[in-house]
Amino acid sequence: MSSSVAPADLPVENGEGELELAAREAGTKTHRVKKRLTSRGATVAALVIAVLWTIPTFGIFISSFRPAELILSTGWWTIFQNPGFTLDNYRDVLLSPSQSSPQLGAYFVNSLFIAIPSTIFPLAIASLAAYAFAWMRFRFVNALFIFVFALQIVPLQMALVPLLQIFSQWLKPGQQWLHSVVDIIPVQNYLPIWIAHTIFALPLAIFLLHNFISEIPNDVIEAARVDGATHGQIFFRIVLPLAVPAIASVAIFQFLWVWNDLLVALIFSGGTQDAAPLTQRLAEMVGSRGQEWQRLTAGAFVSLLVPLIVFFSLQRYFVRGLLAGSTKG
């Protein structure tokens, strides 16, 4: 008499049954996570947060087209009671050659030269360090990782003066050498800012990337080692492609932080137009007594364009990076 045997009760051959079972469990967990994230309450909460978050940006947009006298006398929410639109604010910000409100072109380029390398450098170093902490075994690895993570509690302001002293003593010869080698782009002016942003970004970037890279299945790494792959081959051929969502998520945060930074760039750039970022010029636009902040609204909205482009370009990676590890059992 034959008895029916369920597929789950059959013996596992070559690990195929375990892989199929793991895939089904992962799919079930992913479905539960998506169901929680797409519930009616989550949708309503997301809409409310989005509206509240958008109101200040919408107010800046409306104010950037209003004349100075209306901005100083009425609020942007009274646009229907006090109508009035002009392009003078954008004209003063983008096209005026006067000393009181110089064009933003040079500062815009400076911000790009600051933000792009200050995002690439810490990501490259942090991804390598995260792989080392996750998959390489050496003495004091756990203690060193805790030490790196604990560096986040050090206030940024405490490191500004010591770093400035170190740069003035040890980095000055390197800056002069770079100036003699590369004289087209003033790289020597940006070098202290790049190093400072890289130092401040590494602890959090290493921690976030470590959490993602450490969740890569051990079987994948062990199989590569059995095939004779070195750590460099494992990192560049296996870990790096799998970690793209996490790297993109960290890249968005780092780029936005550097792009909106004023304190670090102001201290390490010297405040000159050769290396000063866009945020410094925005802070100067309101005048000595804050009487011309109608230009600030136009300049601030212009500065939003690049972060928006970066965010929407990496949005799909950003969402995948945020959900990474949500299906872990």
Q: Select the more confidently predicted residue: 174 or 196.
A: 196
Average pLDDT in the 34-48 region?
A: 74
Average pLDDT in the 221-232 region?
A: 88
Handedness of CA 130, 135, 136, 142 (dihedral sign): positive
pLDDT tops 50 at residue 329: no
In a domain, 160, yes or no: yes
Q: Do residues 90 and 64 touch, judged by C-beta distance below 8 A?
A: yes
Residues 178 and 63 in one domain: no
Supply the Cα-derived Rg of the chain in whole angstroms: 26
Q: What is the pLDDT of residue 275?
A: 78
Span 113-125, pLDDT tens digits: 899 999 999 999 9
Q: What is the pLDDT of residue 9?
A: 45
Environment class of residue 2 by beta-carbon count within 10 Å: exposed (0-12), middle (13-18) or buried (19+)?
exposed
Span 227-270, pLDDT tens digits: 888 888 999 999 998 888 889 889 988 999 999 998 888 888 77
In a domain, 167, yes or no: yes
Q: What is the pLDDT of residue 162?
A: 85
In a domain, 7, yes or no: no
Q: How far apart are CA 115 and CA 193, in angstroms?
A: 9
Average pLDDT, the chain: 78
From residue 278, alpha-carbon distances to 19, 67, 196, 223, 267 in Å are 52, 23, 18, 49, 14
Q: Among 26-40, 89-103, 179-193, 201-215, which stretch is predicted with the lowest mean pLDDT?
A: 26-40
Q: What is the pLDDT of residue 1?
A: 46
Average pLDDT in the 294-306 region?
A: 82
Q: Do residues 307 and 255 touch, judged by C-beta distance below 8 A?
A: yes
Residues 51 and 171 in one domain: no
Residues 112 and 52 in one domain: no
Q: What is the pLDDT of residue 206?
A: 94
Which of 85, 110, 136 is the last residue before a domain boundary? 85
Residues 73 and 104 in one domain: no
Q: Token pair of 19, please? A: 């892989």
pLDDT interval class at 4 (50, 70, 90)? very low
Q: Do residues 114 and 277 touch, judged by C-beta distance below 8 A?
A: yes
Residues 44 and 154 in one domain: no
* pTM confidence score: 0.75
Residues 239 and 166 in one domain: yes
Residues 37 and 156 in one domain: no
Q: What is the pLDDT of residue 203?
A: 92
Q: How far apart are CA 197 and CA 163, in angstroms?
A: 11
Residues 151 and 235 in one domain: yes
Residue for token digits 């002016």?
189
Q: How far apart are CA 168 and CA 131, in angstroms?
A: 33
Residues 296 and 184 in one domain: yes
Q: Do residues 114 and 266 touch, judged by C-beta distance below 8 A?
A: no
pLDDT interval class at 5 (50, 70, 90)? very low
Environment class of residue 136 by beta-carbon count within 10 Å: exposed (0-12), middle (13-18) or buried (19+)?
exposed
In a domain, 294, yes or no: yes
Amino acid identity for residue 262 in this structure: L
In 3-state terms the chain splits into helix, strand, coil percentages (rounded to 5) of 75, 0, 25
In a domain, 12, yes or no: no
Instruction: Tell me, rounded to whole angstroms, the distance of Cα 247 from its chain centroid.
Output: 9
pLDDT interval class at 13 (50, 70, 90)? very low
Which of 85, 114, 129 is the last residue before a domain boundary? 85
Q: Do residues 130 and 206 touch, judged by C-beta distance below 8 A?
A: yes
Average pLDDT in the 52-56 region?
A: 88
Which of 64, 85, 106 is the last residue before a domain boundary? 85
Residues 35 and 119 in one domain: no
Residue for token digits 């996750």?
134
Residue for token digits 């003078």?
88
Residues 245 and 106 in one domain: yes
For residue 289, the domain's CATH number is 1.10.3720.10
End-to-end CA distance of the chain: 40
Residues 141 and 54 in one domain: no
Q: Do residues 321 and 248 touch, judged by C-beta distance below 8 A?
A: yes
In a domain, 251, yes or no: yes
Q: How far apart are CA 318 and CA 302, in angstroms?
A: 24
Which phi and psi (to 5°) does residue 3 adopt?
-115, 135
From residue 271, alpha-carbon distances to 31, 92, 124, 276 in Å are 52, 22, 28, 5
In a domain, 245, yes or no: yes
User: How many domains are there within the chain?
Assistant: 2
The parent domain of residue 190 ranges over: 98-325
In a domain, 185, yes or no: yes
pLDDT tops 50 at residue 283: yes
Handedness of CA 147, 150, 152, 155 (dihedral sign): negative
